[in-house]
Structure 1
């Protein structure tokens, strides 16, 4: 390649523009490529770019305390540009191939404090169908840790009130049974006495028209209910599921049981969705393992 790597960026951006990319996207690509020019080592202007050059650029970003997600986005831009150069015959091989940016830390969903959540759920409910329905939904989401899609997809036959179980169809059509809490059973009984549905509708939770209640409606009802209860948090469905898992784990320290209740295939997924009390686990280890006991 006789010219520096970035001499072709204007031509590349023009192809993106012709492909219908937005002005915002083009500006972002232009900024990322301009930053690459500043990050590449000096010898990148006089020789074909190599993997070493891009590794050096990523290291400089890291030293500048760039967020891993930002670094991943920039690398994606650089990779697409190099791929275009290869396809145009302007670059013999792609120096970014198999190059990976630092992995961004998993973002844990927030849990609601036990006392605050229980106070909201224990508040008086109007004896209107919609309020009774919403109370049953929220009790079920927190009491059994159901996903939004799982709650919306429940049918009447999935609820076994006398036995105290709910049958759930989770991700990948994986079925599991989860215990019903006493508060959930009471709320469901109150709602079912007033449930309205069109002929043939099997959905457990229905809307004003007697049809299955949609996920967006549940999300909006939870948000509005929390605001009406004076919550300072923007409450969304997965916060209830995460609170369920976190509160059980904090009390039982049994992550395998939480894994089963949540319907996770892998334990690593449960570790992401729940707050592990590492101090407690470390204490158990120190007290129980003969090679871990420390001198006092």
Structure 2
């Protein structure tokens, strides 16, 4: 019978063999899981624990608390929680006595990051063909075609709030040019109908004749490369970075920021959260509500600049007893 000092090591070794045989996990994830288990084992030994039967929910919560004290972010701790749940589940399936319950193990909630949405002026500077600064017009027919295509791409990302994956997977038969709308297939293969703005529609009409010169006969994609095939997401990212630099923006934009800008600017103008939810294709209204925080930040910025008693500095020339109203 194994001694208490070796029972933990044996249980971890057996779990490691099960991990090696799990083809659902990639090599990088398996390495991260092993690193978590080694860190847990060191924590247990330091506490004088050498048996899986001594590992209960209180011990594991203490381990996670120690990770937080070591400076790990909630996101990083969440990855450790995933590794621990995998370990506890494996122990349970193979009869290793362990009182800890994997279902009770929860990661700390990571603070929700507000999306970085460029303002209207920045988007206009990006998309306006007359806003080129410090560059010369592209030479050559292919380069001019790329520029027209790119402008159309980014007009669609901003004008209809499409995800990057949605815009590259867009096919010609999904676009209803007569009625100014497009059928989009989003997450979990759910489809929605999204309106196409005037600028995006004009950009498409400029791009389609040029697309016809590049397209292979069997290619249905709206946005293609000079090789005649559908663009990749990475190509779109690189092209937007390049355009951002050519427009003299302080930082290159990411395609998803144009989607954030779409949602923020529509919400600022309309206040219709439910309509923005439908256009973005969010299943839950709570997902869309993050843009209300951005809208509130905008309102606060306007308030701070415009209201005479909003800022911390006193109004120039004013006093506490400046008269009655």
Specify the TM-score bucket, using the shorter chain as the normaliser. Answer: 0.7 to 0.9
Inter-partner Cα distance in structure 1 for 2:44 and 2:249: 45
Q: CA deviation at 1:193?
A: 3.0
User: Which of 123, 128, 141 pairs up with 1:122?
Assistant: 128
Deviation per CA, 1:3-34: give whole Å up to 9, x if none.
26x87348735973893967964555423432
1-side partners of 2:112 and 2:247: how far apart?
30
Residue 192 to residue 2, structure 1, CA distance change in 2 (3 Å) = same
| Alignment correspondent of 1:142 | 158
Aligned equivalent of 1:221: 239
Q: How many residues align?
A: 277
Q: Which residue of 2 aligns with 1:239?
A: 257
Q: 1:240 to 1:33 in 2, by over 3 A?
A: farther
Residue 245 of structure 1 contacts residue 274 of structure 1 at CA under 8 Å; is this kept in 2? Answer: no
- Residue in 2 that maps onto 1:212: 230
* 1:111 aligns with one of 96, 109, 117: 117
RMSD: 3.5
Instruction: Tell me, yes or no, if the aligned pair for 1:169 and 1:175 is still in contact at 8 Å.
Output: yes
Residue ranges of structure 2 left out of the alignment (5+ in a row): 22-26, 131-136, 301-325
Is 1:131 equivalent to 2:132 in the alignment?
no
Could you tell me whether the CA contact under 8 Å between 2:149 and 2:223 is conserved in 1?
A: yes
1:159 is displaced (CA, Å) by 2.8
Partner of 1:157: 173
CA contact (8 A) 2:267 2:291 kept: no
Bigger shift: residues 60-69 or 226-235? 60-69
Shift of 1:84: 5.4
Distance 2:151 2:91 in 1: 58
| Alignment partners' CA distance in 2, 1:178 and 1:73 | 36
CA distance in structure 2 between the partners assigned to 1:143 and 1:252 by the alignment: 15
Question: Cα deviations across residues 212-249 of structure 1 (Å, max 9, x unaligned)?
Answer: 33333222222222233233323222111111112212
Distance 1:27 1:119, change over 3 A: same
Whether contact under 8 Å (2:88, 2:102) holds in the other structure is no
* DSSP-derived class of the 1:194 partner: helix
Q: Secondary structure at the match of 2:258?
A: helix
2:192–2:281 Cα contact (<8 Å) kept: yes
Change (3 A) 1:77 1:150: closer
Given the two structures, how large is their TM-score scaled by the length of structure 1?
0.76
Query: Per the alignment, do residues 216 and 15 of structure 1 end up closer, same or farther by CA in structure 2, a change over 3 Å counting?
Result: same
- Residue from 245, 255, 275 that aligns with 1:257: 275
In 2, Cα distance between equivalents of 1:83 and 1:200: 48
| 1:139 CA displacement | 0.5
Decide which of 179, 187, 190 is 1:171's aligned counterpart: 187
> Do 1:86 and 1:92's aligned partners in 2 also have CA atoms closer than 8 Å?
yes
Q: Give the structure 1 partner of residue 75 of structure 2.
A: 69
Note the C-alpha offset of 1:58: 3.2
Q: Mark the CA change 1:277 to 1:13 in structure 2 (over 3 Å): closer, same or farther.
A: farther
Rate the CA distance shift 1:95–1:149 in 2: closer, same or farther, 3 A. Answer: same
The yes-or-no answer on 1:266 pairing with 2:284 is yes
Q: TM-score scaled by structure 2?
A: 0.70
- 1:8 corresponds in structure 2 to 8
Specify whether residues 183 and 29 from structure 1 end up closer, same or farther in structure 2 by C-alpha distance, changes over 3 A only: same
SS at match of 1:166: strand
Distance 1:84 1:154, change over 3 A: closer
After superposition, the Cα gap between the structure-2 partners of 1:174 and 1:33, relative to the gap in structure 1 and judged at 3 Å, is same
Over residues 143-173 of structure 1, what are the superposed CA-to-partner deviations in whole Å (9 max), with x where a residue is unaligned?
1101122212222233333432222222233
Q: Deviations over 1:118-161 (max 9, x none)?
A: 11111347572111011001011001101122212222233333
Change (3 A) 1:62 1:177: same
What secondary structure is seen at the aligned counterpart in 2 of 1:176? strand
**1:97 partnered with 2:115:** no
Question: C-alpha displacement at 1:65, in angstroms?
Answer: 5.7
